[in-house]
Amino acid sequence: MSNYRIQGATGDWEVVLGLEVHAQVVSNAKLFSGAATEFGAEPNAQVSLVDAAMPGMLPTINAECIRQAVRTGLALGAQINKFSVFDRKNYFYADLPQGYQISQFKHPIVGEGTVTLDLGEGRTKDVGVERIHLEQDAGKSMHDQHPQLTYVDLNRSGVALMEIVSKPDMRSPEEAGAYLTKLRTILRYIGTCDGNMEQGSMRADVNVSVRKPGDPLGTRCEIKNVNSIRFVRQAIEYEAQRQVDIIEAGGTIDQETRLFDPSKGETRSMRSKEEAHDYRYFPDPDLLPVEFDDAFVDAARESLPELPDDKKARFVEELGVSDYNAGVLVGEKESCDYFENLLSALAAKTGKDAKALAAKASNWVMGDLFGALNKASKSVSESPVSAKQGADLLALVEDGTISGRIAKDVFEIMFETGKDAEAIVEEKGLRQVSDTGEIEKIIDEVIAANPGQLEQYRAGKDKLIGFFVGQVMKATGGKANPGMVNQLLKPKLDG
């Protein structure tokens, strides 16, 4: 349970949140036409006469969009409706050439499901999904290109969207952020939406209301088209406070659509009440109901990869990866792919069991790799060191060719140059010294050079063994096998 409360003059207020997420479906062609969906084309170059709503044009459903919606529903453990209906949602806007959006109203393709939020420190919370329906996206209006005109690009017009509607189950900005994060992770895993919020592939309408804990639901306001997880949190914080201030000043909340302005960090009213939308939904006479059989659903289920929650559980339980590491790795598909590729390459190379290597490998990915990537402002997919190369490096540590300490230096060079670990180790002569005779010789030298410390050690200052280890490592340029140094040093010190 969330303890998030707005402290008002009359006491604490609880925030009630529901999200409607618009997720662009990954498909080559649009929902009802053969035009491409790719981002960034010349204006109006990916528009068919269907998308431009020329008279007489008829929509034909894209099978892949249906399959993707079903896959999404299955990934959220949701009810799949083998019968669903497309309706017309009527309104006028310059970027909606049809004068209506083809959507699903009464009979959506997916019913109730669940998203499990990860709230950190092992805390989770289930948020209900009310429904998912398929609908067309509108075109894009640009208001800032000309003083008197709005420019309209219909490339996005007709692209398939999934509208994923949550139940009003969230109680804090943190939970709303976690919901969006988790939903995005799942969609990216199963490849039904690329989750790219900057390009608008995923955007959220946030329903916010406040109440005294235990009271019935308050009147909600809908904040439209918020396009980042951070903005969702900010918009909620501002909007909840605004509502509390109004109610405590004796006012009432008008149910309305609002807009979040990131530059000012505030929400403001979008449409006057007179313009309140009356969409007059009715079944689209151009489209018959969508129907499919169990075999279609089963095939969609078969096509799903391992889902993030299952994967995380497997990492922790079967591979012995820490809960924290598993959570972070699974959070981004690219990170997870990198880790899994690295681990399987490492297991193959060393002949060891993945379970024996996984914890170490995850630490390396989370520490060395992510640290270097962060510093260089690169994403995992841009890593100059591939998963295979990373595995080669870790394999050298595993078989004792280099020490963990040296591995860090080698990695730095790999990261800068993209060279393979083995080549660097050979080139720079970094091979770990595991020759007993050689190490013993160095130990003798070190002991001889530090009679004072030896005396203190023998007088009972045990901790000085660390000093001697350090000296030996220093003398070998860090290349001595630390395990062997420890093993050989003690008897010599003890005399």
Partner 1 sequence: MSNIDKATVAKIARLARIKIEDDKLEPLAGELNNILGWVEQLDEVNTDDIQPMSSVVNAKLRWRQDEVSDGDKQESVLKNAPNAEYGFFAVPKVIE
N-term to C-term CA, the chain = 63
DSSP 8-state assignment for residue 25:
-
Which of 324, 374, 318 has the alpha carbon at shortest distance from 343? 318
Q: Looking at beta carbons only, is 124 or 141 nearer to partner 1?
A: 141
- Interface with partner 1 by CB under 8 A: which range of 90-98, 348-356, 368-376, 466-474? 90-98
Q: CB of residue 278 vs partner 1: minimum separation in angstroms?
A: 6
Tell which one of 123, 199, 265, 280 touches partner 1 (CB under 8 A): 280
Which of 451, 443, 487 has the alpha carbon at shortest distance from 468? 443
Sequence-distant (≥ 6) Cβ neighbours of residue 115 within 8 angstroms: 76, 126, 127, 129, 166, 179, 182, 183, 186
- Chain length of the chain: 495
Which of 225, 251, 6 has the alpha carbon at shortest distance from 137? 225
Q: What is the dihedral of CA 256, 20, 79, 199, to 10 degrees?
A: 150
The type of residue at 226 is V
Query: DSSP for 356-382?
Result: HHHHHHHHHIIIIIHHHHHHTT--GGG
Which of 157, 160, 158 has the alpha carbon at shortest distance from 139? 157
Q: Is 43 in the site for partner 1 (CB under 8 A)?
A: yes
Q: CB of residue 273 vs partner 1: minimum separation in angstroms?
A: 13
Q: CB of residue 198 vs partner 1: minimum separation in angstroms?
A: 21
Backbone angles phi, psi at 225, to 5 degrees: 55, 50
Tell which one of 45, 217, 376, 449 touches partner 1 (CB under 8 A): 45
Q: Is 85 in the site for partner 1 (CB under 8 A)?
A: yes
Tell which one of 64, 306, 337, 440 touches partner 1 (CB under 8 A): 64
Which DSSP helix (H) or strand (E) runs through 124? strand 124-136
Tell which one of 2, 90, 181, 227 touches partner 1 (CB under 8 A): 90
Sequence-distant (≥ 6) Cβ neighbours of residue 134 within 8 angstroms: 25, 31, 65, 66, 69, 84, 86, 103, 104, 108, 109, 160, 161, 162
Cα Rg for the chain, rounded, in angstroms? 30
Q: Looking at beta carbons only, is 50 or 328 nearer to partner 1?
A: 50
Q: Looking at beta carbons only, is 94 or 348 nearer to partner 1?
A: 94
The footprint of partner 1 on residues 133-192 (CB under 8 A) is 141-143, 145-146, 148-154
Tell which one of 4, 13, 15, 46 touches partner 1 (CB under 8 A): 46
199: Cα within 13 Å, side-chain hemisphere = 13
Q: Looking at beta carbons only, is 144 or 302 nearer to partner 1?
A: 144
The footprint of partner 1 on residues 336-375 (CB under 8 A) is none
Q: CB of residue 145 vs partner 1: minimum separation in angstroms?
A: 8
Q: Is 264 in the site for partner 1 (CB under 8 A)?
A: no
Q: CB of residue 172 vs partner 1: minimum separation in angstroms?
A: 29
The footprint of partner 1 on residues 16-35 (CB under 8 A) is 27-29, 33-35
Q: CB of residue 65 vs partner 1: minimum separation in angstroms?
A: 8
Q: Is 251 in the site for partner 1 (CB under 8 A)?
A: no
Size of the site for partner 1 (CB under 8 A): 52
- Interface with partner 1 by CB under 8 A: which range of 84-92, 215-223, 308-316, 333-341? 84-92
Q: CB of residue 290 vs partner 1: minimum separation in angstroms?
A: 6
Question: What residues pair up with 268 in beta bridges, in sequence order?
Answer: 259
Q: Looking at beta carbons only, is 31 or 232 nearer to partner 1?
A: 31
Q: Is 304 in the site for partner 1 (CB under 8 A)?
A: no
Cα angle value 53/58/64 (rounded, 5°): 105
- Interface with partner 1 by CB under 8 A: which range of 54-62, 181-189, 363-371, 412-420? 54-62
Q: CB of residue 47 vs partner 1: minimum separation in angstroms?
A: 5
Tell me which residues touch partner 1 (CB under 8 A).
27-29, 33-36, 42-50, 52, 60-66, 85, 90, 92-94, 141-143, 145-146, 148-154, 259, 270-271, 278, 280, 283, 287-291
